[in-house]
Structure 1
Amino acid sequence: MSAALYNKEILRLATSIPHQLRLEQPHGTSERRSPICGSRVTIDVALDEGGRLVALGQEVRACALGQASAALMGVHAVGRTPEELAEARDALTAFLAGERDDPGAWPGLALFEPARPHSARHASIRLAFEAVAEAAARAAERPRG
């Protein structure tokens, strides 16, 4: 495994995951697992009346790459719409697969450039973004009020 894959920034992010408490009454929840490495991420979200994410909770049991990805997702997710979260998930997936040259507009995802040749690591990196997009989509479908 390349030393650049687990660089200082990845390791720093892996130890600084925000929103690590699960929400008591989420509007939407999703759990995603990577069958390759056993990583697991559970995301709870709450949306405001305008459909923007206002609360996030996450439980992350993943490798350093999955933890770093969860940290980047968590830092920038609040205030986003379900559509923006789905766009970030799709851009990250395409970037890792080599289908696009950039990871999209989400801050910090270029950090995973060294992981692109390591397809076995892609699932763990995608987990938090897949889970938050799915949880937000579920929350958007749920009647509130």
Structure 2
Amino acid sequence: MAETDLIKLYSSRILELAADIPRLERLEAPDATVKKRSPLCGSTITVDVKMRDGKVSDYGQDVKACALGQAAASVVGGAIVGCTESQILEARDALRAMLKEDGPTPPAPFDGLEVLRPAAAYKNRHASIMLALDATSEACAKVRESHSA
């Protein structure tokens, strides 16, 4: 990877998002907590989710990731409250398709993830970018399963 490619990849918008991640406080009594790690780069994220009436009512995250993973967590943290599990799954699947197949941008309120489209060329970064939505999807499933048990 050439240095100019790296500079383009880490655009000022990605760096702004990475520097200002919302909801970095862990929740005291979450309905579910999930920790995910990217095996390639070691990036990790832990998310706490509270859900009420089928929607995320509160969210906290601890992000130890590269700038791309941080930028994704920033967009997710800013958009997540009020979303349903199906919206989160749709965003996760769309982000994966955007990175792997040049698919469409994830739908609102997660359309800010478009900023990460240039990372599609860097497959070793995909797992880090996916961490926030992968962990949140799993947390929502845990909450649903606990309520149906």
TM-score past 0.5 threshold? yes
Counterpart-to-counterpart distance in 2, 1:120 and 1:59:
22
**TM-score, normalised via structure 1 length:** 0.93
Distance 1:29 1:12 in 2: 27
Q: What pairs up with 1:49-128 in 2 under 5 angstroms?
A: 50-98=53-101, 100=103, 102-105=104-107, 106-128=110-132
2:28 to 24, 29, 38: 24
Contact 2:102 2:120 survives alignment (8 Å): no
Deviations 1:68-88 (A, max 9, x none): 000000000000011111111
From 130, 133, 139, the counterpart of 1:129: 133
Q: CA deviation at 1:99?
A: 5.4
Question: Segments of 4+ in structure 1 off by > 4 A?
Answer: none
Structure 2, gaps ≥5 residues long: none
Quick one: which of 21, 24, 42 aligns to 2:46? 42
| Aligned CA-pair RMSD | 1.3
Cα displacement (A) at 1:28: 1.1
Task: State the alpha-carbon separation in 2 of the partners of residues 27 and 55 from structure 1.
Answer: 10
Taking CA–CA contacts closer than 8 Å with sequence separation of 6 or more, which of the two structures ends up with the larger relative contact order? 1
Kept after mapping to 2: 8 A contact 1:42/1:131: yes
SS in 1 for 2:13: helix
Instruction: Give the distance between the partners of 1:141 and 1:99, measured in 2 at CA.
Output: 33
- Whichever residue aligns with residue 18 of structure 1, its letter is P
Query: Offset at 1:103?
Result: 2.2
Q: Which has the higher helix share?
A: 2
Counting aligned pairs with the same residue, the percent is: 44
Q: Equivalents in 2 of 1:45, 1:104: separation in Å?
A: 21
Is contact 1:47-1:140 (8 Å) kept? no
